[in-house]
Structure 1
Amino acid sequence: MIVRSLLATVFLAVALSPAAAAGDVKAGERVFLKCRACHQVGENAKNVVGPVLNGLFGRPAGSAPGYSYSKANKESGLVWDEATFREYIADPRARIPGTKMVFAGLKKEQEIDDLVAYLKTFRADGTRVAE
């Protein structure tokens, strides 16, 4: 009985761990279609309505070269890490009041997991990290 309880505890710990919440890159590429009207990624990406998202994680908010950010975004003091991005993408205007981003946000955790996995595959120069 003790072994069974121990195995159940280990199983739950693994199932609830952040690694278990890892997203699917291919599914994230499909989720990115919701972002694509305003953002680009990849080697030939350009700033359009929104900034290029290559190398997003680790980058200070409001710092993509050549993009005209809102004052709120530039002065937010944020550095994009996974936790900050997750909060932001769920409700951009709540996380950075005054942002120019008009996207209503992603509400499904799995979509956010998948989008994070996809965006993490792009280096700052737009080349892809091996999946």
Structure 2
Amino acid sequence: MSMELNKMLAAILTAGIVFMVTGIIGDALVHPKRLERSVLEIAGAPAGGDAAAPAAPAAPAIEPIGPLLASANPQNGQAIAQRQCASCHSFNQGGRNGVGPNLWGIVGAPHAHAEGFQYSAALVGMRDRPWDYEELNQFLAAPRAYAPGTRMAFNGIASAAQRADVIAFLRSLAAEPKPLP
């Protein structure tokens, strides 16, 4: 290495050390205190030191799935499910639970029904409700909005037509598929 390169690296290293030491000294010298009330009052903001977070906007209404199921394509739904669901779920009769439960016979089954699978409290609390077509539609559209606290790391399927295809595929995963609505 040349002497000039050594000088440049030393300058960069020295500057980094100076900034780090300055930060440590600053943290040791300054002890911020939270004020009881805000110094600057903002019109329309709630009074008090802890302003509540603004309410989340209401989730948009999800299109009913019933009318779309008549023209849904289970083969397309299978392709979507293989792409988006198969890494966590199995689809065959008697299949094992993975990261997610086996989905054979899901349509019409109660929530949190798979033996031996550890469901989130959100889904266990819905155990008395069956997975009908609209319940599946709501869940597949936005799992975390449907069951807050769910461990399912999936954002949902935005397209109603694709959800209908997946639900038609899930309907086919039964010895006797449930009738369409």
Normalising by the residue count of structure 1, what TM-score does the alignment of the two structures yield? 0.76
Deviation of the 1:114 alpha carbon = 0.6
Alpha-carbon RMSD: 1.9
Q: Unaligned 5+ residue runs, structure 2? A: 1-65
Query: Are 1:81 and 2:140 an aligned pair?
Result: no
Deviations 1:56-96 (A, max 9, x none): 11111111111111111101243200001101110000000
Q: Unaligned 5+ residue runs, structure 1? A: 1-16
Q: 1:28 aligns with which of 77, 83, 106?
A: 77
Q: Is the 8 A contact 1:42 1:128 kept in 2?
A: no
Q: Percent identity over the alignment?
A: 31
Q: Is the 8 A contact 2:68 2:164 kept in 1?
A: no
Match of residue 113 from structure 2: 63
Match of residue 91 from structure 1: 142
Normalising by the residue count of structure 2, what TM-score does the alignment of the two structures yield? 0.56
Aligned residue identity for 1:31: I
Find the aligned partners of 1:44 and 1:74 in 2 and give their Cα distance. Answer: 21
**Which structure 2 residues correspond to residues 100-111 of structure 1 after superposition, within 5 A?**
100-111=151-162
Find the residue that maps to 1:51 and give its secondary structure. coil
Structure 1 pair 20–69 and aligned structure 2 pair: CA distance change class (3 A): closer
Q: Is the 8 A contact 1:47 1:67 kept in 2?
A: yes
Match of residue 41 from structure 1: 91
